[in-house]
Amino acid sequence: MNLIQATRDGRIEGTVVRLVSDRPEASALDSARQLGVPTEVLEPVRPGARLAREAEERLLEIVIEDAPDLIALCGFMRLLRKSFLDRVSAPILNVHPSLLPAFPGLEPQRQAVESGAGTTGVTVHRVDAGMDTGPIVVQASTPILPGETAEGLADRLLPIEHRLYVEAIQRIQREKT
């Protein structure tokens, strides 16, 4: 909802035209609907790192229908195929709660805490066909506090994710002008 709010209060130019999720239980779906943003759930939902091919084809149809200037992935825990990425001209961004390339993939907060790292952070990057491997747009670091849990770290990183995602989109928008 952070990005919807940012478009409405002028921090980001534009409008969120649709919220698409691969998780039917995502709370963001209800929040978006309450704010008047159309939503869609990609079907079929299957376990695994990649979307079902049918779901990815539907996502491509949505992108073609909506013709967005930018696609922002939030909590989207799937890899997109190169064939999909090659057909989308809009930048695709993802936010990840670590200082990539450290701790890619699932549960980066747990990975950071268990590794004994003293610092972690948030990365917004362009999406490519790899797992959290696309070019970095912006990062911000924060210390891992003594005795901190993965859950506590995740809670502390969330406001940084929100701030940084807006900053990354502003940067992409400036590059276009």
Please give the positions annotated as active site.
96
β-strand pairing of 39-41 with 92-96: unpaired
Taking the CA atoms of the chain, what radius of gyration do you get in angstroms? 16
CB distance 66 to 17 below 8 Å: yes
Q: Quote the CA–CA distance of 76 and 14 in Å, as a whole number.
A: 21
Supply φ then ψ for residue 23, to 5 degrees. -125, 110
CB atoms within 10 A of CB 42: 21
